[in-house]
Amino acid sequence: MGILEGKVIIVTGSARGMGSAEALDAAENGAEVIVTDILDERGNETAVEIGATYRSLDVTSKENWSEVVSSVLDEHGRIDGLVNNAGIYTSQDIFSGSTDTFQKIIEVNQFGTYLGMAAVTPIMSRQGSGSIVNISSVAGMRAQANIAYMASKWAVRGMTKGVAKTLASSGVRCNSVHPGAVETDILFSLEEEAVTDLISTIPMGRSGEPAEVAEVVTFLLSDSASYITGAEIVVDGGMII
């Protein structure tokens, strides 16, 4: 029996990459997983592969969130966990990018996370239990030149603490996870020299695997983390020590 046995977990942006690893680990630990994404074909494939359910979800749409949450409640009667994993990335330097790009990053990474929490917390509060895991980044822990992405991830960190403090007495926990150089599309999109330079700054001397982040997420979703809320868990091989 896995540590998420019987729990109903929604994972956003889980058609591929780190999100799919998080969905897989939750399913392998006994959860009923709802894979959500805007990549419908890939998302359906991922759901079939891990024995989960797929729902199309644009995290920036309040109406879409309501539809997905309602469908999950109709099918399962409860929501025990939410992983706000969906996000987009830009490497634009401070003031060098377009305002449209900045706004889009904030819309998906920050506002999308907010909408997800707003959609599930009333349900979790009524249940008297629930765990939200927000995927931030090491960019939410220190200053970086990619200002839009950094700002969105600092915002996720701050919102996490606010929700954790506000809802702690309701039995709802909220924590943030801050991955470093993990082997996802974001890392693979960088030039080889840039990746080499980045890894050279990591004390462990290597990049991380999505499964290593997923295991942390599963722990925070589980009752094993019952006294942990408002925490910032950094998964970066020592990058920001």
- Report whether 4 contacts 30 (CB < 8 A): yes
- In 10 A of CB 41, how many CB atoms? 10
What is the helix (H) or strand (E) element at residue 44, kind and residue range? helix 40-50
Return the sign of the alpha-carbon dihedral for residues 45, 49, 53, 57: negative
Contact assessment for residue 233 and residue 177, using Cβ atoms and an 8 Å cutoff: yes
Catalytic residue among 89, 114, 149, 227: 149
* Residue 62 structure tokens: 């309040």
User: CA separation (Å) from 218 to 114, 175, 212?
Assistant: 21, 12, 10
Q: How far apart are CA 80 and CA 58, in angstroms?
A: 21
149 among known catalytic residues: yes
Active site residues: 149
